[in-house]
Amino acid sequence: MSHDIEASYAAMELVNQILLSPNCCFKAPPEASALSGYAGREGRHEWPHADGVVELAVTSGGTPKEYTIAIEFKRPNEGLHGVLTAIGQSHAYLRKGYAASVMVIPASYPSFENAGHYAGDVIQQTSGAPSIGVVTYLRPDMSKVSPFEGKLTINRPFLVDVSAPISTPKIPSRTETQWAHVREGSTDPDAFYKYLQAVKLLGGGMEPHKPRIPKLLLEGIERVNPGTDPERYLSNCPNDDLADRAWRHFWFKNVLHDEALLGWSRTTSGQYIVNETKSKIIRSDNTSAKVFFFGRSDSPKNKMVDALNQGSTNENNSIETLVKNYRARAHSYREDIDSGCEHLGFVDREGRLTDSGYKFVDACERYNNPNEGLPRAIFLNALLADGALGAFLHYIYRLSENRFCAEPLAFTALPTQKNRKPAFDQQGYLAWLEAEMSDTLHVIRKVSRRGGTERKPFQAELAVLRSLGVVGGFRTGMGLVINWSEFQESLSFSKSSHQYN
């Protein structure tokens, strides 16, 4: 089990303890009905990076107040030195702007029996900060939905003063869940490889790829945004740091490459035809190149070509719409790639490759296929361990096991004369899992939809894991089918110990 997964489990149990006993966290505890919270994870942009966060909201007394608590988790193999670093890190999280911080450490070490008492004494005799807590733990029980249930002891409370003004933490936007941000259609090993390779090459002094932008698009960009640089506009990337230059290189070499830039062509008879040039990014299932901007009736190029052929628009308007669409897609796709690389530990806070990032890129270059062999193993290990989707699957499995042991035919419609086979209600099952993770485990926060098409529960996570062979379909009496051999093999794979021969 990875450090990040264990930290996720500890954060989940800690938020449950706070909700049950608010006096461990507040100088003046609010009513239980006025307190809500969930365990999440922090984005990796701003140093120092917490191992987990607890988001609390107090709704009594007028305007709702929100408090963010940082968690520093130490494993036994980090030794007593880890206790000392946790003390320092806990102070640093207060400096960063957290309302409180909690160090979660083993209850004892072979040479030191009461680490929690010692850590509490050090804090009390130095800073005396009341908002730094010390929590010790016993070995987690992986047979439970919450492996640290009954395993945590609060040695020193971490008191938040609800009467004090709330400072704004210097914390960037975070994921709403404990696990990494993933998106179907974006979280492909080949896309990550080609972006990370651009970071590597440009960091070594290589010049970024220069696209050949057609005159029609140049003119359209000038009409839409006069005086703007066309490359920066189409890539939605105005700056010149390494990450920005790498993104422009990746975007124009692999997605909006020279052959894909034009939206359409015309036949000798004047009919408009969609430019169906694919990207240079291979899908996770290794079947074909990914498609951007065309392929469905509502795809941008298809819609514009239909309108042009119907005479309901003209070329200038279509070009302007197309360049705006290119720009918007560059922004959304980059958010997915950037967030994914950070959450999987492939880049540091400055956007430069980490050791894991270098090893992934080097393996892809050597084996020439990110979707197979060693590159795939590195990527999947990062997804499940560093990205903590291993915790996500643990919650699904244990929740499902408990439910189906008590009710084997839950979410199942029995055979009828019309339907001769039992029918499993996938959407009802997923909605129940989402509710359990939100209302019982407190590991996700459900937010109101802001428009657009409503997404199904865990749509992105399951699509990505399915494309990588970790999960399959659904079965009566079981729920989601998890490929445990693939799961265990991935988690046991060590990126740091692998030797390149």
pLDDT tens across the length of the chain (501 residues)? 789 999 999 999 999 999 999 999 998 888 888 999 999 988 666 788 899 999 999 987 677 888 999 999 999 999 999 999 999 999 999 999 899 999 999 999 998 989 999 999 999 999 999 999 999 999 999 999 999 999 999 999 999 876 655 555 555 445 568 998 899 889 999 999 999 999 999 999 999 899 999 999 999 999 999 999 999 999 999 999 999 999 999 999 999 999 999 999 999 999 999 999 999 999 988 888 999 999 999 999 999 999 999 999 999 999 999 999 999 999 999 999 998 998 899 998 888 999 999 999 999 999 999 999 999 999 999 999 999 999 999 999 999 999 999 999 999 988 776 777 889 999 999 999 999 999 999 999 876 554 456 778 999 999 999 999 999 999 999 999 999 999 988 887 754 444 433
Q: How many domains does the chain have?
A: 3
Q: What amino acid occupies position 251?
A: W
Q: What amino acid occupies position 491?
A: L
Tell me the HSE value of 311 on the side-chain side, using a 13 A CA sphere: 1
What confidence score (pLDDT) does residue 163 get?
62
What confidence score (pLDDT) does residue 390 get?
95
Domain identity same for 426 and 332: no
Residue 32's contacts (CB-CB under 8 Å, 6 or more residues apart) are: 19, 22
> Is 459 part of a structural domain of the chain?
yes
Domain identity same for 310 and 213: yes
Domain identity same for 252 and 117: no
> Is 308 part of a structural domain of the chain?
yes
Domain end among 328, 343, 374:
374
What confidence score (pLDDT) does residue 498 get?
46
Residue 48's contacts (CB-CB under 8 Å, 6 or more residues apart) are: 89, 92, 93, 96
* Closest C-alpha among 280, 281, 246 to residue 353: 246
Tell me: cis bond preceding 48? Omega within 30 of 0 counts. yes
What is the value of pTM for the model shown? 0.90
> Is 99 part of a structural domain of the chain?
yes
Domain identity same for 310 and 428: no
Domain identity same for 210 and 354: yes
Q: How far apart, in whole angstroms, are the C-alpha atoms of residue 460 and residue 306?
A: 30
Domain identity same for 362 and 452: no
Output DSSP code: residue 280.
S
Q: How far apart, in whole angstroms, are the C-alpha atoms of residue 96 and residue 465?
A: 34
- Report residue 379 as tokens: 């990527």
> Is 171 part of a structural domain of the chain?
no
| Chain position carrying tokens 């007593």 | 80
Beta strands at 65-73 and 52-58: parallel, antiparallel or unpaired:
antiparallel
What confidence score (pLDDT) does residue 172 get?
47
Output DSSP code: residue 135.
E
> Is 467 part of a structural domain of the chain?
yes
Beta strands at 272-274 and 264-266: parallel, antiparallel or unpaired:
antiparallel
- Residues 330 and 236 sit within 8 Å (Cβ to Cβ): yes
Instruction: Tell how far CA 356 is from the center of its chain.
Output: 17
Q: How far apart, in whole angstroms, are the C-alpha atoms of residue 486 and residue 340?
A: 21
CA dihedral (40, 43, 48, 49) in degrees, to 10, reads 40
Domain end among 374, 404, 435:
374
Domain identity same for 352 and 448: no
Q: How far apart, in whole angstroms, are the C-alpha atoms of residue 261 and residue 213?
A: 7
Domain end among 309, 342, 374:
374
Q: Exposure of 320 by Cβ count < 10 A (0-12 exposed, 13-18 middle, 19+ buried)?
A: middle
Q: What's the domain range around 414?
A: 388-492
> Is 383 part of a structural domain of the chain?
no
With b meaning 16 or more CB within 10 Å and e meaning fewer, what string describes 371-404?
A: beebbbbbbbbbbbbbbbbbbbbbbbbbbbeebb
| Chain position carrying tokens 């997605």 | 255
Domain identity same for 361 and 427: no
CB atoms within 10 A of CB 143: 8
Domain identity same for 138 and 16: yes
Domain identity same for 83 and 109: yes
What confidence score (pLDDT) does residue 30 get?
87
- Report residue 73 as tokens: 């988790």
> Is 173 part of a structural domain of the chain?
no
- Residues 136 and 107 sit within 8 Å (Cβ to Cβ): yes
Q: Exposure of 270 by Cβ count < 10 A (0-12 exposed, 13-18 middle, 19+ buried)?
A: exposed
> Is 47 part of a structural domain of the chain?
yes
What confidence score (pLDDT) does residue 406 get?
96
What confidence score (pLDDT) does residue 442 get?
95
What confidence score (pLDDT) does residue 160 get?
87
Q: What amino acid occupies position 315?
A: E
What confidence score (pLDDT) does residue 169 get?
52
Q: How far apart, in whole angstroms, are the C-alpha atoms of residue 501 and residue 496?
A: 14
What confidence score (pLDDT) does residue 143 get?
95
Domain identity same for 16 and 70: yes
Domain identity same for 369 and 392: no
Residue 126's contacts (CB-CB under 8 Å, 6 or more residues apart) are: none
264 three-state secondary structure: strand
DSSP 46-114: SSSPPSEEEEEEE--SSS-EEEEEEEEE--GGGHHHHHHHHHHHHHHHHHHT-SEEEEEEES-BTTBS-
Which region, left, alpha or beta, applies to residue 442 given φ > 0 means left and ψ of -120 to 50 means alpha?
Answer: left
